[in-house]
Amino acid sequence: MKKEALKEFRKPEVAAVAKEVLKRGPVCDNCLGRQAAQVSTGMTNRDRGKALRQMLGAGREPAKCGVCMGIFKRIDGYADAAAKRLAKLEYETFLVGTKMSCDFIRSEESLWEDVGIDYCESIRSELNRELGKLIWKKVKHEVDEKSPDVLVILNLEKDRIDLQVKSLFISGGYKKLVRGIPQTKWDKYRETVEDIIAAPLLKATGGEGHSMHAAGREDIDARCLDWRPFVFEIKNPVRRKIDLRLMRAKIKKSGKVEVSGLSFSDKKQVPIVKSMRHDKTYSVLVEFERPVKSIEAVEGVKGYVSQRTPTRVMHRRADLTRKRRVIDISWKRINNKNFELQIKGEAGLYVKELVTGDSGRTKPSIAGLLGNPAAVKALDVIKIWD
């Protein structure tokens, strides 16, 4: 093989490139060989550089290199640093990337202006490959080009190794068993569904942050008594293999939130969960201002209702009128002013406004049909339909 390679290198146009590189000043074997990277396969740029130098009788490799500033001599140190940091992490796969600095970009551009780019490879690509090989030898974890658990970044600007750890995604469903906590961070509320789920997950993974993506949200003062699908993201996890059954038990101990069907997931699930549009059944405790004569009239909301954006969410939503379907309604009398209604509606139906009418912004409404002002005393999501 070496003989054949030499034959390739002897071609006048290749030899001319090598001579030009050598003429520019001290250059290491890697940087010399890299300018002929496409000439023969199955060898490293370092081997190519050695062969070219020998062929041209250019003496020994100098201690300094004006192209890479000696980075290939220091590469083992970077590999050691990366392996040490990786040893503290739980991961299956990794990939090496290089963050170029202005100095390196300038140096490479000036070299290519002088000697051309006919047979070259970029320094970034050689660094990624050579550092990747060295780290692989030390850590024995697989390389994944598409979606590695850890991205090892050789940061040439800062002259250091950075690690970018892939977020850990966990899918599941949650129930909210108490009123008065928002799903995610909201105003003055100190506790959220997200925080309650996050607490044991952060502890188990050693993660640094989290976010929760769910299929819709219930009102802060509403319970959610069926499993609402979500995807949980843990940022920068140190550990990835956590006991999900234990997580479920710990979350349940909160007495406020429960989770079910936890499984390891991925980023692709986030838009899927966010775009889910489930029909839901609500249980609503309604108090009417005056005694109700014929509750049957509430059947009149079945079909499509027209809802202008509720006044209570006007400050954060566009003022639009939407058509939403009320699929079913049934009732249970508590006394002549108080009823428990069960309402099945399509995703996006504003249930409180369906009851009160929101000063005529929702039509028809229960208060409107009965000609009797009505207030929602309690609201629960009791069924999330597939």
List interacting residues with Zn ion (CB under 5 A): 28, 31, 65, 67-68
Of the pair 28, 259, the CB lying nearest Zn ion is at 28
What pairing do the DSSP bridges indicate for beta strands 321-333 and 93-99?
Answer: unpaired
Minimum distance of Zn ion from residue 35's CB (angstroms):
11
CA distances from 174 to 232, 242, 248, 272, 278 (A): 11, 19, 10, 17, 15
| CB neighbours of residue 109 within 10 Å | 10
Q: How far is the CB of 31 from Zn ion (least distance, A)?
A: 3
Residue 67 vs 301, nearer CB to Zn ion = 67
* Residue 142 in tokens: 């697989």
Q: Active-site residue 219, yes or no?
A: yes
Q: In the complex, what is the shortest distance from the CB of residue 130 to Zn ion, in angstroms, rounded to a whole number? A: 12
Q: Which is nearer to Zn ion, 130 or 233 (CB)?
A: 130
Cα 259 to Cα 280: distance, rounded to the nearest angstrom? 19
Per annotation, catalytic residue among 219, 221, 243, 328: 219
**Rounded distance between C-alpha atoms, residue 112 and residue 108, angstroms:** 6
Q: How far apart are CA 146 and CA 379, in angstroms?
A: 46
**From CA 138, how far away is CA 87, in angstroms rounded?**
10
Q: How far is the CB of 70 from Zn ion (least distance, A)?
A: 7
Going by C-alpha positions, the residue among 370, 354, 343, 360 that lies closest to residue 305 is: 354
User: Judged by CB, which is closer to Zn ion: 28, or 156?
Assistant: 28
**Of 108 and 194, which CB lies nearer to Zn ion in the complex structure?**
108
Q: 257: closest CA among 188, 197, 171?
A: 197
The residues that are catalytic are 219
